[in-house]
Amino acid sequence: MLKELHIQNYAIIDELVIRFDGSLNIITGETGAGKSILMGALSLILGDRADINVVLNKEKKCFVEGLFQTNNKSSVVRFLTENDLEVSDELLIRREISVTGKSRAFVNDTPVTLNQLQQLSQQLVDLHRQFDTLSLGETGFQLSVIDAMAGNDSALIKYRKAFRNWQELQKQLTILIDRKNQENREFDYHQFLFNELDEAALKSNELEDIDAELKLLSNAEGIKAALANVFEQLKGQEVPVLQVIRQLIHQLQQYSQQHTKVAEIRDRMQAAYVELNDIAGEASALGDQIGHDTGRIEQLNERLNTGYKLLKKHNVQTTQQLLQIMEDLSGKLEAVEQLDETIARLEKETAAASKIVLELSQMLSAARKKQLAPFEKQVNILLARVGMPNARLKVQIEDAVPGINGADAIDFLFDANKSNQYAPIRKVASGGELSRLMLCIKSLVAGKMDLPTLIFDEIDSGISGEASRQVGLIMKELAAARQVICITHQPQIAGKADLHLFVYKEARGKSISTNIRVLDQEERIVAIAQMLSGEKPTPAALENAREMVMN
């Protein structure tokens, strides 16, 4: 509910504070008094774009403040929580336009974006202007009306959850199929590379070991000769080195007891003899093992050749790197196989989710279709009440591709003259017809849709008499459960007010400004009488006005 509206330095309003009632608030005043300016100012805090031209005094900023009581409405609390704004039963929404034209918005003194302001205002106010009826022709609004009448809230929540799950599965499946198509294009090449490495059957460090063995074989003759020379010098000559050492040990042996140092030298020479004798044996044995094997060299060169080609092809340096590449390729090939399994599983899940969506959408459709005839009947009765006895509303519903609101395409069709020539309402209904039709529909669904404060800006154009009285009655009925604010020129509607606000112009020095005041009962009678018969109301008009107010 809008408790208070504070406007400063806007258009021809210097400063204005308006306090509203929680039920039916009627705003009247002469044409040009500034009623539309009030709606313009209110639109600012509802998220309309700012215009520097509305700033009255260009030397100071313009601001509009609205104080709302939320009654902890769940959608408002959810919005505040999701946007990290203070949750409060009262919200002060403020919009400023600086002297440079820059606009800022605040909720309880916290800056917010224009988009946030628009989202929040939709939960607080439903502003309906004379020709502001586009939503009436939109499928989304029409579906929400029928769903409200059918009580589809819980069914819609369940359906939307299933629909989003289905969408997410479809998205995952599409991503995986695209990935599979991409990997399939690379699969054959990866398989070829893997097979090539697999056929080579390299072992860890094999190429490095082959290289070392080839170096050995290539120098076999030189190594063999060197080893033979070692043996020859140590044991093979006429007087071999080992024999000489043995004789020297024997000579020292006879003096080892006479001098300890001689014994030490003898022992060291004995150790050297043992070591050199062992070396001679190993050199001989190793020399016998080494030989120049041409076949082996050719075999190793061929193997090394294969390995070097693979190293060059994959731009790596070691056998281990080639084996790692082979392991990576194996992983990629295995992943493609696993991808097929994942896709098959997701296809089953998606099909199951699609079936659930279809079943829930059919339940929604059935509930909607059940409401069409009663809804059409109630709207048409109300249309007769508001001065359109020949007008008829018909709801057309057809199957559609499943969407967030179900699998129905809905359209409100309209016939203004009992011609049985129905056409989409957005194409054939006039502005006045749309306004009254919107009033009838909102009066039916207001409670079920939890509509916020309803504001009607001169939607009574083109009606009078009994039709105006019925519009007033419908607004009165609406105001029994929620706040309604209505700008009107119709005395029959003004007579139903719980709070009557009168807009007028007044001279202040050399300037004219808009002001507003609350009318008491006698002032209301005079104002309504003037609406009936002019500036100087007749006694009959005054009596008529009194009857409207008292009743």
Instruction: Classify residue 198: in a domain, yes or no.
Output: no
Which residue from 42, 16, 74 is spatially nearest to 455, judged by alpha carbons? 42
Distance CA 28, CA 21 (A): 15
Distance CA 311, CA 316 (A): 5
Instruction: Classify residue 216: in a domain, yes or no.
Output: yes
Q: Which residue segment(s) compose the domain that 231 sits in?
A: 206-317
Q: Are residues 85 and 4 in the same domain?
A: yes
Instruction: Classify residue 307: in a domain, yes or no.
Output: yes
Q: Are residues 8 and 89 in the same domain?
A: yes
Instruction: Classify residue 118: in a domain, yes or no.
Output: yes
DSSP reduced 3-state for 98: coil
Distance CA 92, CA 509 (A): 33
Instruction: Classify residue 371: in a domain, yes or no.
Output: no
Tell me, what amino acid is at 317? Q
Q: The domain that contains 10 carries what CATH number?
A: 3.40.50.300
Last residue of a domain, one of 263, 291, 317: 317
Instruction: Classify residue 540: in a domain, yes or no.
Output: no
pLDDT in tens, 68-119: 998 888 889 989 999 999 888 899 999 999 888 899 999 998 999 999 999 8
Q: Are residues 3 and 115 in the same domain?
A: yes
- Write down the pLDDT at residue 132: 46
Distance CA 66, CA 401 (A): 42
Q: Are residues 25 and 128 in the same domain?
A: yes
Last residue of a domain, one of 317, 352, 382: 317
- Write down the pLDDT at residue 133: 45
DSSP reduced 3-state for 406: strand
Please state the φ and ψ torsions of residue 112, each to the nearest 5 degrees: -135, 160
Cβ atoms 350, 170 nearer than 8 A: yes
Cβ atoms 3, 69 nearer than 8 A: yes
Instruction: Classify residue 62: in a domain, yes or no.
Output: yes
In the numeric block, which tokens belong to residue 340?
Answer: 């097929």
Looking at the DSSP assignment, which residues form a beta bridge with residue 63?
8, 96
In the numeric block, which tokens belong to residue 63?
Answer: 């601001």
Q: Are residues 104 and 221 in the same domain?
A: no
* Residue segments in the chain with a per-residue pLDDT below the cut of 70: 129-138, 213-225, 227-228, 239, 287-297, 447, 461-462
- Report the 10 Å Cβ neighbour count for 368: 22
- Write down the pLDDT at residue 134: 44
Q: Are residues 37 and 120 in the same domain?
A: yes
pTM of the model: 0.65
- Report the 10 Å Cβ neighbour count for 475: 26
In the numeric block, which tokens belong to residue 290?
Answer: 């080494």
**Number of structural domains in the chain:** 2
- Write down the pLDDT at residue 175: 92
Looking at the DSSP assignment, which residues form a beta bridge with residue 414?
393, 423
Q: Are residues 122 and 213 in the same domain?
A: no
- Write down the pLDDT at residue 220: 59
Q: Are residues 109 and 222 in the same domain?
A: no
Distance CA 397, CA 404 (A): 16
Q: Are residues 31 and 116 in the same domain?
A: yes
b/e sequence 4-38, b meaning 16+ C-beta within 10 Å: ebbbbbbbebbebebebbbbbbbbbbeeebbbbbb
Distance CA 65, CA 62 (A): 10
Instruction: Classify residue 459: in a domain, yes or no.
Output: yes
